[in-house]
Structure 1
């Protein structure tokens, strides 16, 4: 799918507003109103990964927009885990955790804070799991500074 198509889909669904803003504004909850579009974008996001990529777990930050990450987990047939980052400390929620040896894909709707991603990467590595990448619908930063491959449908 070309970037123009993605922008068109997100604009038509009311998820993307680029008018008069320094950077585009995303409304991920609006995206969830159309499960077909949500699934299509989740699959498209997974197709950004190298073809031989194997993953076990989708990890996301716990927030209202984490439902898109759940859609990615469903499309990938992977475990879904959420976490909070507070003052650089990671807390896994609802008794979930990253399992030793797992291949973990971090998913965020909007990647705009590399410090939270860096904290997640560090915590995953402490658990002897492997971060295979960071994915997002939109990226305003380059998470590769954390030493991890970054894949986004749209970068600004």
Structure 2
């Protein structure tokens, strides 16, 4: 069994400070999965571990789809580990869109994959984009779960902010249940600190 927290720490991917998350909330911790995924062998190993969970569930997958940019490397490696094709959605004029000639078939079983799931907002945007084209969303996956949604095999309670559907499985390698605050509640803001956003949309 891989020690995911140690892998993130050793890769310099578990950051401490004052961060603005994609959800708009603040946290003293940030997971920068790009630092983990810059090592191809490690990315392959993590994806194989995630694929094992999915196969053991079991879940039949035709295609893995990721929202760009954060989910691209994780999704591609997961598709490779599962032996299925990979597609991605990307933002155009603020809307998550399927472009670049990608198409889906009616009833095609699609697993949405992110590097990290916080509330699942971007994952749901990608899911809705392929679903409206006739595909079937069968589950969600991520390397890491920020502890708002409940993954398969975890006893963490689902929080109200979780946007993933309750009736579909969510797979992840580890829960990182860090403190998360709204801007009004954030103790670091009250101390005069300004949040930074090291993720793909902010940097």
Change in CA separation of 1:65 and 1:135 when aligned onto 2, cut-off 3 Å: closer
Which residue number in structure 2 is paired with residue 15 of structure 1? 13
TM-score by length of 1: 0.81
Bigger share in helix:
1
1:145 is paired with a residue of what secondary structure? coil
Number of matched pairs: 153
User: Do the aligned residues in 2 keep the contact of 1:107 with 1:134 (CA within 8 Å)?
Assistant: yes
| In structure 2, distance between residues paired with 1:6 and 1:122 | 30
- What is the rounded CA distance, in whole Å, between the counterparts of 1:50 and 1:78 in structure 2? 12
2:78 alignment partner, SS class: helix
Q: Which residue number corresponds to residue 173 of structure 2?
A: 153
- The whole-number CA distance in structure 2 between the counterparts of 1:138 and 1:98 is 27
RMSD (CA atoms): 2.5
| Match status 1:131 vs 2:143 | no
Alignment map for 1:1-156 (pairs within 5 Å)? 1=1, 5-17=3-15, 19=16, 22=27, 24-49=29-54, 51=56, 52-85=58-91, 89-140=95-146, 141-142=148-149, 143-145=163-165, 147-155=167-175, 156=177
Give 1:135 shift: 0.6
Gaps of 5+ in 1: none
| Structure 2: gaps spanning 5 or more residues | 19-26, 150-162, 178-203
Larger RCO (CA under 8 A, 6+ residues apart): 2
Structure with higher Rg: it is 2
SS of residue matched to 1:39:
helix
**TM-score, with structure 2 as normaliser:** 0.65
